[in-house]
């Protein structure tokens, strides 16, 4: 699963981005990666590891929902349905 979000362009402000990726790791667990920062610059990368898919998906959705509440808009989504 992957989702890429960005803040709307505002006068005098550089847009920000947030990308979430959920992938199976080599040991059978799940790796959730969050990259965020200013558009056009290197972002900060954070990773979390989960033994179970449902735990990883719950955290993925929490992070996604938090960014949407902060004003981010979905630009690209892969491997999931649009949030309601």
Rounded to two decimals, what is the model's pTM? 0.84
CA distance 12 to 78: 31
The residue behind tokens 């990666």 is 33
> Once rounded to an integer, what is the mean pLDDT over residues 12-34?
94
How confident is the model over 25-84, as pLDDT tens digits? Answer: 999 999 999 999 999 898 999 999 999 999 999 999 999 999 999 999 999 998 866 554
Two tokens, residue 24: 């199976």
Q: What is the pLDDT of residue 50?
A: 97
3-state DSSP of the chain: CEEEEECCCECCECCEEEEEEEEECCCCCEEEEEEEEECCCCCEEEEEEECCHHHHHHHHHHHHHHHHHCCCEEEEEECCCCCC
> What's the confidence (pLDDT) of residue 82?
54
Which pLDDT does position 33 carry in this prediction?
97
Complete domains list, the chain, with CATH:
2-78 (2.20.140)
pLDDT of 5 reads 96
- Tell me, what's the pLDDT at 11? 76
């Amino acid at each position: 699963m992957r989702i890429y979000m960005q803040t709307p362009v505002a006068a005098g402000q550089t847009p920000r981005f947030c990308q979430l990726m959920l992938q199976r790791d080599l040991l059978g667990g799940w790796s959730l990666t969050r990259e965020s920062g200013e558009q056009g610059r290197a972002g900060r990368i954070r990773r979390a590891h989960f033994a179970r898919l449902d735990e990883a998906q719950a955290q993925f959705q929490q992070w996604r929902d938090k960014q949407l509440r902060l004003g981010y808009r979905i630009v690209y989504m892969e491997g999931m349905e649009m949030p309601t």
